[in-house]
Chain A
Amino acid sequence: MASKLTRSTGAGWAFALPGFGLIALFIIVPFFFAFGLSLTNQRLISPNPTEYVGFENYRDLLSLSVITLEPERDDSGAVIRDEDGEIEYPRVRTITRSDDFPQYRGMREWFRWQSAETARVVIASDVVFMKALVNTLMFVLVVAPVQGGLALILALLINQKLRGINIYRAIYFMPVVVSIVVVSLLWRFIYDGNDGLLNNLLSAITFGGWQPVDWLGNPDTALGSIMAMSIWQAVGFHMVIWLSGLQTISPTLYEAAEIEGASKWQTFRYVTWPGLRNTAVLVLIVITMQAFALFAQIDVMTNGGPLDSTQTVVFQAVERGYGKQDISGGSTISVILFLLVLTISLIQRWLTREK
């Protein structure tokens, strides 16, 4: 029976208000705030009044240039080389600090490459942010396919009528329900350079032949270690999504394929995978968004180090906004991240659209 209460729009709005209000307060308003603040020089605490600065924050973060360095030459015009035979170039700061090039003022070298005798140097006004951007993109590029793929394999293994299969389901899902902060702390012990579980394990299976690695302290292994741990942590979540997709496929289709003589692989290719289309789009987009938001693992495990090798965009946003009290800088990073994720999601939607 529809009572007067359930038919009245006023009551409906009243019930929706608390939830709606909270969403507005903590998601919608801050979203627009970030846009606004990114156009100012707002700081967390400052005696000076806030000023509108236009796109200066964006310029400070994103400015990139390539400068060409000619080798140093001696009086005869020959290229000067150091003891190792490497060509010597003028120092970059002779350009970025020179009054002749005001457009490069304050920028620093990000990386360089050499073509013939000249060197080209990419300079950025915010090298740390650039590294964070690259690390984040690397993280997404590795984690999205690997985590999605592993989750699918687990789901296919779990999706069988076997006694006790639910135990495996629970085991794979367990890391998902544990807080990422706790998981990160645990994995810090696992990755420990001296007495970590991983080093001990590798040493045990190589009969002591393994040289311990400081997984999180080495710029070459730090990001990879965080990727591995992040993949492990959330793979169970995506496994469950795949599993729900698998269960929407009618068992009769598998029987029809079996009668027609399809092998396991052909069954996957012609029945399972096409049936998982929509699930695949969902998993891909969700993993991508989660990967872009990489923060807690960095904050607990490496703080962006060593040598900025694990800096990420969200970590930088927090670091700027609260660590350095540069609210406008943090907001700018957030807006850039938003636009990045939006663009990539739209591209993914377009690539996976129904043809």
Chain B
Amino acid sequence: MADVRLKNVRKSFGAVDVINGVDIEVEDGEFVVFVGPSGCGKSTLLRMIAGLEDITSGTLSIGGTVVNEMPPKERGVGMVFQTYAIFPHMTVRENMGFGLTIARAGKEEKDRRVNEAARILQMEHLLDRRPSQLSGGQRQRVAIGRAIVRKPSVFLFDEPLSNLDAALRMDMRMEIGKLHQQLEATMIYVTHDQVEAMTLADKIVVLRDGEVMQVGTPMELYHNPANLFVAGFIGAPSMNFLSVDVSEVADGVALVSNPSLDPVRIGSVKQPVAVGHKATLGIRPQYLHPTDPDKGMLHGTVALTERLGAETIVDVAMKDGTKIIAALSEDRMLDPGTEIGLTFDTEQAHLFAEHP
């Protein structure tokens, strides 16, 4: 088992800078998820840890050793790819035992470890099949099995569930979570799906354009986003952003308002804001509650209602033409066109100096 540390790591492909100075610390046994939109450099970062890409500058250490120049096999990492990358001409057993075959391990040991991995992944009955006879989920299980058998100290997953359908994705997600508890190994998991990140991670690293936006536990990121990007990326539906005027700042509490928002005091000021300037108020849809039109702090008309059964998503058009979304945790019909007011807990709203 080992920890992974990146210090000021950079990567350029020719003149294109893809990773711009990243510092990340992954503790021994931790499950860390790199999350960010497509093209932000997650895969590149993971492939640098694996040793599949050179590191342009900075240091990468695994288990206390700097491994910048080390070939992948000496780093003690196992990797699971989005496209499975299992060998089509080998049976499941041969695929899973591949690392041991390469290391010229004895047949007995190979059998024992393959069987153990197959038991953990509940796929003992598939061992003699060929990849073409497996479903997508089973193939990904084989790929995970191949990584487990070698007992690497660090597991790397690059969007392992992206090629699976929604139902299977949830099953596999839970299995990977269970696997982490069972193996107690260090795992680094890359995804663009914030739900995977929230459910699996001990620690999430949010990336954007090759830079770390915030590092923290899922709940820290959810309740205390450091910037607009993280606030908007984590949570579904996305956080509402309202452009507001700051009229007073005292003791870290700001008084803000806009034409459809009655003045409110916000204690969660994420970035220094100044009186007389515009700022952005972020409120999660789940914290907005509808009330009568003349009550509440926000006023608008219902534009659309989506009823999901246990949840209702309401689009509300504000007076100034902007739109905000409220997510109600009950089934409720609000007719489009009705005027409503919305209240929210000011403790759960965040103020940012940035503008979306």
Of B71, B85, B89, B103, the residue contacting A256 (CB under 8 A) is: B85
CB <8 Å contact, B89 and A259: no
CB <8 Å contact, B102 and A250: no
Of B52, B103, B143, the residue contacting A261 (CB under 8 A) is: B103
CB <8 Å contact, B89 and A274: yes
Task: Give every chain A residue within 8 A of B101 (Cβ-Cβ).
Answer: 270
- Within the assembled complex, what's the spacing in Å between the Cα atoms of A271 and B150? 19
- Within the assembled complex, what's the spacing in Å between the Cα atoms of A257 and B102? 9
30 contacts between A and B (CB under 8 A): A250-B83, A250-B85, A252-B85, A253-B85, A256-B86, A256-B146, A257-B98, A258-B52, A258-B71, A258-B72, A259-B51, A259-B77, A259-B78, A259-B79, A260-B73, A260-B99, A260-B102, A260-B146, A260-B150, A261-B102, A262-B102, A266-B102, A270-B87, A270-B98, A270-B101, A270-B102, A274-B87, A274-B88, A274-B90, A277-B89
Q: For B82, give the chain A residue with the smallest CB separation.
A: A252
Q: A220-264 CB contact bits vs B (8 Å, 1 = yes)?
A: 000000000000000000000000000000101101111111110
Question: Closest approach, in angstroms, between the C-beta of A250 and any C-beta of chain B?
Answer: 7
With A252-B81, A266-B102, A270-B98 as given contacts, are A259 and B87 in contact (CB-CB < 8 Å)? no
B50 on interface, CB distance cutoff 8 Å: yes
A149 on interface, CB distance cutoff 8 Å: no
- Within the assembled complex, what's the spacing in Å between the Cα atoms of A261 and B86? 15
Task: Give every chain A residue within 8 A of B90 (Cβ-Cβ).
Answer: 270, 274
Size bracket, chain A contacts:
10 to 19
Q: B45-71 CB contact bits vs A (8 Å, 1 = yes)?
A: 000001110000000000000000001
Q: Interface of A with B (CB < 8 Å)?
A: 250, 252-253, 255-263, 266, 270-271, 274-275, 277
Q: B77-118 CB contact bits vs A (8 Å, 1 = yes)?
A: 111010101111110000000110111000000000000000
Task: Give every chain A residue within 8 A of B52 (Cβ-Cβ).
Answer: 255, 258-259
- Within the assembled complex, what's the spacing in Å between the Cα atoms of A323 and B87? 56
Question: Closest approach, in angstroms, between the C-beta of B290 and any C-beta of chain A?
Answer: 50
- Within the assembled complex, what's the spacing in Å between the Cα atoms of A259 and B85? 11
Task: Give every chain A residue within 8 A of B88 (Cβ-Cβ).
Answer: 274-275
Q: For B104, give the chain A residue with the smallest CB separation.
A: A266
Question: Closest approach, in angstroms, between the C-beta of B149 and any C-beta of chain A?
Answer: 9
Q: For B152, give the chain A residue with the smallest CB separation.
A: A259
Task: Give every chain A residue within 8 A of B102 (Cβ-Cβ).
Answer: 257, 260-263, 266, 270
Task: Give every chain A residue within 8 A of B86 (Cβ-Cβ).
Answer: 256
Task: Give every chain B residue within 8 A of A250 (Cβ-Cβ).
Answer: 83, 85
Task: Give every chain A residue within 8 A of B51 (Cβ-Cβ).
Answer: 258-259
With A258-B73, A259-B50, A261-B99 as given contacts, are A275 and B89 in contact (CB-CB < 8 Å)? yes
Question: Closest approach, in angstroms, between the C-beta of B223 and any C-beta of chain A?
Answer: 37
CB <8 Å contact, A261 and B85: no
- Within the assembled complex, what's the spacing in Å between the Cα atoms of A255 and B46? 13
Task: Give every chain B residue within 8 A of A277 (Cβ-Cβ).
Answer: 89
Q: For A252, give the chain B residue with the smallest CB separation.
A: B85
Q: For B47, give the chain A residue with the smallest CB separation.
A: A255
Task: Give every chain B residue within 8 A of A261 (Cβ-Cβ).
Answer: 72-73, 99, 102-103
- Within the assembled complex, what's the spacing in Å between the Cα atoms of A266 and B79? 19
Task: Give every chain B residue within 8 A of A260 (Cβ-Cβ).
Answer: 73, 98-99, 102, 146, 150
Task: Give every chain B residue within 8 A of A266 (Cβ-Cβ).
Answer: 102
Task: Give every chain A residue within 8 A of B50 (Cβ-Cβ).
Answer: 259
Q: For B143, give the chain A residue with the smallest CB separation.
A: A256
Q: For B94, give the chain A residue with the smallest CB separation.
A: A270
Question: Closest approach, in angstroms, between the C-beta of B146 and any C-beta of chain A?
Answer: 7
- Within the assembled complex, what's the spacing in Å between the Cα atoms of A257 and B77? 12
Task: Give every chain A residue within 8 A of B99 (Cβ-Cβ).
Answer: 260-261
CB <8 Å contact, A259 and B73: yes
> Which B133-154 residues have C-beta < 8 A from chain A?
143, 146, 150
Task: Give every chain B residue within 8 A of A255 (Cβ-Cβ).
Answer: 52, 79, 81, 85
Q: For A267, give the chain B residue with the smallest CB separation.
A: B102
CB <8 Å contact, A252 and B83: yes
- Within the assembled complex, what's the spacing in Å between the Cα atoms of A276 and B215? 45
Which 5 A-B pairs have CB atoms at the shortest separation, nearest pair first?
A261-B73, A256-B85, A274-B89, A252-B85, A260-B99
Task: Give every chain A residue within 8 A of B103 (Cβ-Cβ).
Answer: 261
- Within the assembled complex, what's the spacing in Å between the Cα atoms of A263 and B71? 11
Of A258, A263, A271, the residue contacting B87 (CB under 8 A) is: A271
Central interface residue in A252, A256, A266, by most chain B CB within 10 Å: A256
Central interface residue in B71, B87, B101, by most chain A CB within 10 Å: B87
- Within the assembled complex, what's the spacing in Å between the Cα atoms of A44 and B336? 96
- Within the assembled complex, what's the spacing in Å between the Cα atoms of A277 and B88? 12
- Within the assembled complex, what's the spacing in Å between the Cα atoms of A255 and B158? 13
Task: Give every chain B residue within 8 A of A253 (Cβ-Cβ).
Answer: 85, 87
Question: Closest approach, in angstroms, between the C-beta of A199 and any C-beta of chain B?
Answer: 48
Q: For A277, give the chain B residue with the smallest CB separation.
A: B89
- Within the assembled complex, what's the spacing in Å between the Cα atoms of A252 and B150? 19
- Within the assembled complex, what's the spacing in Å between the Cα atoms of A262 and B102? 6
Task: Give every chain A residue within 8 A of B83 (Cβ-Cβ).
Answer: 250, 252
- Within the assembled complex, what's the spacing in Å between the Cα atoms of A275 and B72? 23
- Within the assembled complex, what's the spacing in Å between the Cα atoms of A94 and B71? 77
CB <8 Å contact, A256 and B79: yes
- Within the assembled complex, what's the spacing in Å between the Cα atoms of A259 and B73? 5
Question: Closest approach, in angstroms, between the C-beta of B112 and any C-beta of chain A?
Answer: 18
- Within the assembled complex, what's the spacing in Å between the Cα atoms of A266 and B104? 11
Question: Closest approach, in angstroms, between the C-beta of A93 and any C-beta of chain B?
Answer: 60
- Within the assembled complex, what's the spacing in Å between the Cα atoms of A263 and B102? 8
Q: For B79, give the chain A residue with the smallest CB separation.
A: A259
Question: Closest approach, in angstroms, between the C-beta of B90 and any C-beta of chain A?
Answer: 8
Central interface residue in A253, A261, A271, A274, by most chain B CB within 10 Å: A261
